[in-house]
Amino acid sequence: MVHIISFYFIYLFIYLFFFFFFFFFFFINFLLLLLDFSYFKCSPLIYYKSQISFC
């Protein structure tokens, strides 16, 4: 019984780790995109992503 519980927590930990990793990755990417669009209109990040100059 204890072995099954520990196995379950290991899988839960791995699942949460990947979930938060992908969530933060996409969230930070989205925030950077918003910041670039609102404040840095001549940003190289946006220029690199879209190949269109926003200046």
pLDDT tens digit at each of 55 positions of the chain: 677 888 889 999 999 999 988 888 888 877 777 766 555 555 555 555 555 544 4
pLDDT at residue 4 in the model: 80
Q: How many domains does the chain have?
A: 1
Indicate whether 31 belongs to any domain: yes
State the virtual CA torsion across 42, 44, 45, 48 in degrees, nearest 10: 110
The pLDDT score that the predictor gives to residue 16 is 93
Look at residue 55 in the predicted model and tell me its pLDDT: 44
Q: Please check whether residue 55 lies inside any domain of the structure.
A: no
Report pTM: 0.39
In angstroms, the CA 53 to CA 41 distance is 8
- Per the structure, the complete domain to which residue 8 belongs is given by 2-50
